[in-house]
Amino acid sequence: MAKVSIIIPTYNVEEYLVECMESVVRQTLKDVEIICINDGSTDDSLEILQSYAQKDERIVIVDKENGGYGMAMNIGIERATGEYIGIVEPDDFVPLSMYEDLYEIASKNQLDFVKADFYRFVREAETGNMELTYFHLSQKPEDYNTVFDPSQTPEAVRYIMNTWSGIYRREFLLENQIRHHETPGASFQDNGFYFQTFIYGKRAMIVDRPYYMNRRDNPNSSVHNREKVYCMNQEYDYIREILLQDKEIWNRFKYVYWMKKASNYLATVRRIGDEYKREYLLRFSEEFRRAKECNELRRSVFTEPMWQEVQYIMNDPEGYWHRRCDQAGILQLEKDSRELKKVKESTTYRVGRMVMYLPIKIKKMLKGK
């Protein structure tokens, strides 16, 4: 059994994949298993993976038709044999000591999972220089380097949401059937996985040292996709269904669920195409008014600016649209009507439009050391 199985879900990332693979195969922790899921790539990604597999027997390649990020990750989890599981996105990379350091912390403290601070970066095309931004998982220094029980600490869900900055005990994932939502494409399926680790985990830790290097200059990343309007709706319906399976879990986590959902709604408003914003805000308002009627919103779990923003949208979505979108010159509905019609006929939009719950993902950044 390897100490860590590293899953790399891969789809059309030939430009970045060598840097990613070099950072993984050269880890100071040699006892790793590297599971590369080629999710129907149409570029040279598979060939790059195969060239590494020929030189390194630790690499396992699963070549499959395109089924989306969630399915690829679930296949990787099922194939993994390591004591712990790590995730590396194929356009990112990791420092060479990351998995040795995190494994030592996790095994020493018998953790279900451990996560660390991380960097986001963009790289200048001409010089190759990187601009780094440090992200702290928590704003509170006292949250770090101590074992806590996530299942009894719902406020910990407010940590910056990601699944790749740490490692997870494989038996913990299997025992609790923690998997990714198998929706098409790369559609923020990490949200559901993140929630499950917190509602079922018993022993966890966050570490105040940055490891993971998260790219933000890949134009094909889902965080830049302006046409994935309702994929977050589907993801948070999925999360809600999981939480509602146990009334006690729902009652414990429902307030932070809505807080995280609001954070993601607000990020979606910023991300999606200008021509979709008005409709999205109307849906936003409807859902949160319904949550208020069900007494599922609690002001104390929101930051004050976020709470005020949500209240504005709940009470006056049209006014919010005119003030924050239309008057700022963001929306050009007439000009974009043909593009809107084209997208609304797409499978991604039609599937998402059927879903009643919507969200978004604001990962709160904190610069500094």
pLDDT in tens, 128-180: 788 999 999 999 999 999 999 999 999 999 999 999 999 999 999 999 999 99
Look at residue 369 and tell me whether its pLDDT is greater than 60. no
Q: How many C-beta neighbours within 10 Å does residue 262 have?
A: 26
pLDDT of residue 226: 65
Q: How many C-beta neighbours within 10 Å does residue 352 have?
A: 21
Banded pLDDT at 354 (limits 50, 70, 90): very low
Give the mean model confidence (pLDDT) for residues 41-58. Answer: 98
Q: How many C-beta neighbours within 10 Å does residue 149 have?
A: 12
User: Do residues 118 and 214 lie in contact, with contact meaning Cβ atoms separated by under 8 Å?
Assistant: yes
Look at residue 333 and tell me whether its pLDDT is greater than 90. no
pLDDT of residue 224: 47
pLDDT of residue 326: 63
Rounded Cα distance, 15 and 115, in Å: 27
Q: Which domains does the chain have, with CATH numbers?
A: 4-223 (3.90.550.10), 231-353 (no CATH)
Amino acid at residue number 144: Y
Q: Give the tokens for residue 219.
A: 């134009």
Mean pLDDT, the chain, rounded, equals 88
- DSSP one-letter string for 302-335: S-HHHHHHHHHHHH-HHHHIIIIIITTT---TTT
Look at residue 234 and tell me whether its pLDDT is greater than 90. no
Beta-carbon contacts of 233 under 8 Å, excluding residues fewer than 6 positions away, are: 283, 352, 355, 356, 357, 358, 359
Q: Where are the alpha helices (DSSP H) in 85-143?
A: 98-109
Radius of gyration of the chain (CA): 21
Task: Provide, rounded to the nearest whole percent, the portion of the chain with pLDDT above 90.
Answer: 75
Strand partners for 205 = 114
Rounded Cα distance, 199 and 188, in Å: 19
